[in-house]
Structures are given as structure tokens and as C-alpha cells.
């Protein structure tokens, strides 16, 4: 018996050695499958990448008299003023911006091009020097001061113009050798930083509408309003078809304008409850954007959803595809976490560059440090797509579900109408719609809604929950 055990132990050791040799052989001669696309290393994809944050330089002035005394104490020599061969070309009003040395210790470093050098502190400066600014942004690769180039709607673009920067040299080496100099602008070569002029993390995500919200029924009642919401949202009928169905089925004569007013008012009341509900999200989120029409003009709907529990955690409607609404959508979703998971969070999105830029701002402003995994293309050509394609397909399926309900509206008439329409659909999707994932029950079951006998009653109770949420928010603001 002992001999058999000894033989098995020796045989296991032999197998382990063989496995180690095979692993070394694979690592040395067989390239492992890359986690990134081979095309992502192409210079044509460089413009879609987000550069890391710049270095912030805060100038630290010093007194030149202390420096003169220090040099005298350490070296036993006095720093003498500069003896110019001709009359001193520097005016008496010019002093060193760092140490305050007078013009006797200054000289022109590059002739007539405007740069000066201080003999006391060796500082190079010009008339528009960095010490006249509260802080300066520097390139993280070469340390050169960034230059403001363009002003956009929500941010200012800073650029490193140093042609000796290692980042610029590296990108320059990737472009085709026979490329004409006039075509270099098609590639992103220099380091770029976007300084946002609007703080998206101080905006109120749960702002209530300015107009008064009330339900005073002169002709109809709460049940009829529930019927309007059921036909319009659940059955995806337009406002005109909803009014027609109420007249043909129930004998209720109501205008399509009144149906629209009921929908907008209900959405404004329900939205705070939907946005502040405790969804208990998982650590796998998926994000995407789709387009809608508002007065015939293309707008965008941003969605961040829980890929495991299928609930919609964040949503925004915007007239542009910029990074601003992307940040607001992420913020709305991340505030659902009682404790942010950090690096444990798997955030899946497409290849649009707004998502990594928004994650950079989340880490900078709120210390939400997480990685964005981008699934690019329609086929699984790399390991990332193979592993996370199912997460991307979940949000793509959600977009098709939303579009099926949106088509009946023939577009929205205003920006507020689009936001309230989407928020009303999100409330229906999260709390009222039966899902096969949850055995044909709503994704988030609320005890109050379970006691309702029919769908119009559930809409009335959902409005009641929204009113309670608004009262709690107003009470907290007063306190």
C-alpha cells in the first residue's frame, strides 16, 4: 500500500513538471489572445482614446534676499548683478515673478523673443508667466504647460504643443511614413485635456418642475386618469388613439390634449420615486444611448441598467451626444449604491469615447474609481467581446423594447415632454411591467402595488408613492 502511494506522489510531481514546461513553452512561442483589438493600436483609433489627467503646477514663490544669503553662507561667494556690455535693455519695472529679484539680476535669455532668466533662482519667464495664474496645467509626459485651444459647450480643450514631448513622438512614429504634412491633422498626436466649465456633480438630479402639480378633476376622476396611463404607456397607444379607445370601449369622451396633460403630470409626480428607489443593484452595469425625435430633431436617450436584475438605474434625455448627459446618467446610476463597489464594478459600454471620459471625471470629482470595459463591433473577435457580449446585448434588447413603445408617439413635442415621457416609461418598466426574467412579475415588487386589483389602480398608487416622496424631499429641504 505504501509503495502505491509513493508511486502516485512521484507521478503527480512528474505531471506538474510537464505542465510547467508546457506553460513556459506557450508563453514563449505561442502569443496569447489579446484583450484589446489589434485595430485599437492603430493611429486612426487614437482620437477615440481619453488621455490621463494632467499635472497641476502650483507656483511656490521665494524671496531673492534669502537666496542671496543662502549662497553666501554655503559657497562663501556673493551673487553679483549682471554686467551688460551695453546699456541695460531691461526696464527697472521688470522683476523676477518667482523670487522678486530686481532688473539688475535679469537678462534676456533668447534675445528679442521675450524670454527672461533670473540669475538668482534660474527661473525662465515671460511677461505672461505662470506666476500670474492661480495654477497651471502641465503635460504628464513632458511637463510642458498646456495651452488652451478651443472652447466647447461644456468644456475647454487644453493641448500640449511641445514637439519634443514623448507622447507626441510616440504617436508620430505610428502614422504612415509617406503621409503628407497637410494630412497630419487627421490624427490625434498631441496630448489633450478637457477642462469642464460646468460641474455636473452639483446639479440637482431630482429637481421638481416649477409649475404647480395637482390633481383636481372637474369632469373626470382618478380612475379615468389611470385608464389613460394604462392605454398610453402599457399598451403603447398614442394620445389620439388613447382618447379614441376610451370613447369606443368605455364611452368616455376625452381629448388627446387631456391625455397628454395627465401623462406629463403623472410623470412629474412619479419621477422622484423612480429616481430615489432602493434598487439594491448588482456590480454589473451596462450603458448605451439611442436616438429619438423631438420636433423632428434628433435627440438622445442615455440609459444605464443593472445587467443582472434588469432594472434601469440611470437615464437622461439630451439634444447632443456629448459627455455631459453621459456623466449625469452615470451619476444617477451610481447614487443607487449605498457603498460604491469601486474596482469590483464591471461597467460595460460600447466604443464611444464619452464613457471613459465620464469615468475619468467621476474619479476626479467623486472618487468613483472604476474601469470601463468597451465592447466594440458586432462579432466576438477578441476576448473582451467574447466575455462581455451578453451584457451589451441586454441593454441593446432594452433599447428595442423602448423603441417599440416610442414609435406610437410619433416623436415628442418638447424637451420636457421627452424627459417626462421617458421617465414615465422607466417607471412602468421598473415597477409595473411583467418580466419573464422574474417569472412574469415586475422587476421591483412594492407591497402597496401588489394589493391593487387592476392596472389603473396601480398607476394611482404609484402616483401616491411619488407624492409621498415629494413631501419627504420638501420636508428635508426645510429642515
pLDDT tens-place string over residues 377-424: 777 777 888 889 999 999 999 999 998 877 666 678 788 778 888 999
Burial of 81 (0-12, 13-18, 19+ CB in 10 A): middle
Angle between helices 256-276 and 415-431 (to 10 degrees): 60
Percentages helix, strand, coil for the chain, rounded to the nearest 5?
45, 15, 40
Domains identified in the chain and CATH numbers: 64-132 (no CATH), 137-196 (no CATH), 272-478 (3.30.420.10)
Query: If pLDDT is split at 50, 70 and 90, which confidence band does 273 have?
Result: very high
Whether 326 contacts 355, CB under 8 Å: yes
Between CA 323 and CA 349 the distance in angstroms is: 14
Weakest mean pLDDT among 100-114, 122-136, 137-151, 170-184: 122-136
Calculate the average pLDDT of the chain.
84
The more confidently predicted of residues 398 and 143 is 398
Candidates 329, 332, 261; CA nearest to 289 is 329
Query: If pLDDT is split at 50, 70 and 90, which confidence band does 62 have?
Result: confident
Q: Is the pLDDT of residue 311 over 50?
A: yes
Between CA 205 and CA 271 the distance in angstroms is: 10
Weakest mean pLDDT among 25-34, 248-257, 318-327: 25-34
- Per-residue pLDDT, averaged over 426-436, amounts to 93
Beta bridge partners of 57: 136
Strands of 307-353, DSSP E: 312-318, 346-349
Cell representation of residue 37 = 483589438
- Global pTM value: 0.74
Count the residues in the chain. 479
pLDDT of residue 198: 79
- Per-residue pLDDT, averaged over 459-474, amounts to 88
Q: Is the pLDDT of residue 479 over 80?
A: no
Between CA 221 and CA 226 the distance in angstroms is: 9
Q: Is the pLDDT of residue 36 over 50?
A: no
pLDDT of residue 35: 43
The more confidently predicted of residues 157 and 7 is 157
Candidates 264, 261, 337; CA nearest to 306 is 337
Q: Is the pLDDT of residue 38 over 60?
A: no
- Per-residue pLDDT, averaged over 333-351, amounts to 91
Beta bridge partners of 287: 304
Whether 433 contacts 459, CB under 8 Å: no
Candidates 142, 138, 116, 134; CA nearest to 61 is 134
Angle between helices 323-334 and 354-366 (to 10 degrees): 50
The more confidently predicted of residues 476 and 451 is 451
Query: If pLDDT is split at 50, 70 and 90, which confidence band does 213 have?
Result: very low
Residues 69-94 have pLDDT tens digits of 888 888 888 888 888 776 657 777 78
> Could you identify the residue written with the cell 423594447?
401
Q: Is the pLDDT of residue 461 over 50?
A: yes
Between CA 358 and CA 323 the distance in angstroms is: 6
pLDDT of residue 31: 53
SS (H, E, C) 95-136: CCCCCCCCHHHEEECCHHHCCEEECCCCCEECCCCHHHCCCE
Amino acid at each position: 500500500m505504501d509503495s502505491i502511494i509513493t508511486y502516485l506522489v512521484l507521478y503527480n510531481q512528474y505531471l506538474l513538471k510537464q505542465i510547467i514546461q508546457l506553460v513556459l513553452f506557450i508563453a514563449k512561442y505561442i502569443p496569447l489572445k489579446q484583450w484589446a483589438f489589434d485595430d485599437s493600436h492603430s493611429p486612426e483609433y487614437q482620437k477615440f482614446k481619453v488621455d490621463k489627467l494632467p499635472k497641476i503646477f502650483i507656483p511656490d514663490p521665494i524671496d531673492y534676499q534669502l537666496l542671496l544669503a543662502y549662497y553666501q553662507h554655503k559657497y562663501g561667494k556673493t551673487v553679483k548683478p549682471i554686467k551688460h556690455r551695453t546699456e541695460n535693455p531691461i526696464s527697472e519695472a521688470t522683476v523676477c515673478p518667482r523670487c522678486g529679484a530686481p532688473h539688475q539680476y535679469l537678462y534676456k535669455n533668447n534675445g528679442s523673443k521675450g524670454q527672461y532668466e533670473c540669475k538668482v533662482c534660474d527661473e525662465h519667464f515671460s511677461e505672461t508667466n505662470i506666476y500670474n495664474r492661480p495654477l497651471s496645467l502641465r503635460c504628464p509626459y513632458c511637463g510642458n504647460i498646456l495651452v488652451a485651444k478651443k472652447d466647447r459647450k461644456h468644456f475647454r480643450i487644453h493641448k500640449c504643443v511641445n514637439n519634443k514631448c514623448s507622447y507626441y513622438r510616440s504617436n508620430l512614429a505610428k502614422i504612415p511614413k509617406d503621409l503628407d504634412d497637410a494630412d497630419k491633422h487627421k490624427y490625434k498626436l498631441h496630448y489633450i485635456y478637457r477642462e469642464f466649465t460646468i460641474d455636473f456633480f452639483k446639479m440637482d438630479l431630482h429637481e421638481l418642475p416649477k409649475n404647480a402639480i395637482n390633481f383636481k378633476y372637474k369632469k373626470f376622476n382618478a380612475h379615468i386618469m389611470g385608464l389613460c396611463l394604462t392605454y398610453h404607456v402599457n399598451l403603447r397607444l398614442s394620445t389620439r388613439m388613447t382618447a379614441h379607445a376610451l370613447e369606443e370601449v368605455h364611452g368616455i369622451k376625452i381629448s388627446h390634449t387631456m391625455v397628454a396633460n395627465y401623462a406629463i403630470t403623472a410623470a412629474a409626480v412619479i419621477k422622484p420615486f423612480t429616481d430615489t428607489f432602493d434598487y439594491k443593484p448588482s456590480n454589473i452595469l451596462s450603458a448605451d444611448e439611442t436616438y429619438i425625435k423631438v420636433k423632428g430633431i434628433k435627440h438622445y436617450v442615455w440609459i444605464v441598467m443593472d445587467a443582472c436584475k434588469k432594472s434601469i438605474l440611470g437615464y437622461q434625455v439630451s439634444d447632443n451626444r456629448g459627455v455631459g448627459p453621459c456623466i449625469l446618467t452615470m451619476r444617477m446610476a451610481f447614487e443607487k449604491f449605498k457603498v460604491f463597489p469601486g474596482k469590483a464594478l464591471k461597467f460595460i459600454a460600447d466604443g464611444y469615447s464619452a464613457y471613459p471620459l465620464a469615468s475619468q471625471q467621476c474619479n476626479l470629482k467623486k472618487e468613483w474609481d472604476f474601469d470601463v470595459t468597451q465592447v466594440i463591433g458586432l462579432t466576438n473577435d477578441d476576448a473582451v467581446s467574447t466575455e462581455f457580449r451578453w451584457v451589451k446585448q441586454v441593454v441593446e434588447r432594452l433599447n428595442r423594447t423602448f423603441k417599440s413603445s416610442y414609435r406610437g408617439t410619433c416623436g415628442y413635442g418638447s424637451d420636457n415632454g421627452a424627459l417626462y415621457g421617458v421617465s414615465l416609461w422607466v417607471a412602468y418598466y421598473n415597477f409595473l411591467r411583467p418580466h419573464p426574467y422574474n417569472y412574469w412579475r415586475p422587476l421591483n415588487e412594492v407591497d402597496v402595488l401588489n394589493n391593487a386589483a387592476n392596472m389603473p389602480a396601480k398607476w394611482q398608487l404609484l402616483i401616491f408613492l411619488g407624492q409621498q416622496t415629494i413631501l419627504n424631499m420638501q420636508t428635508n429641504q426645510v429642515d
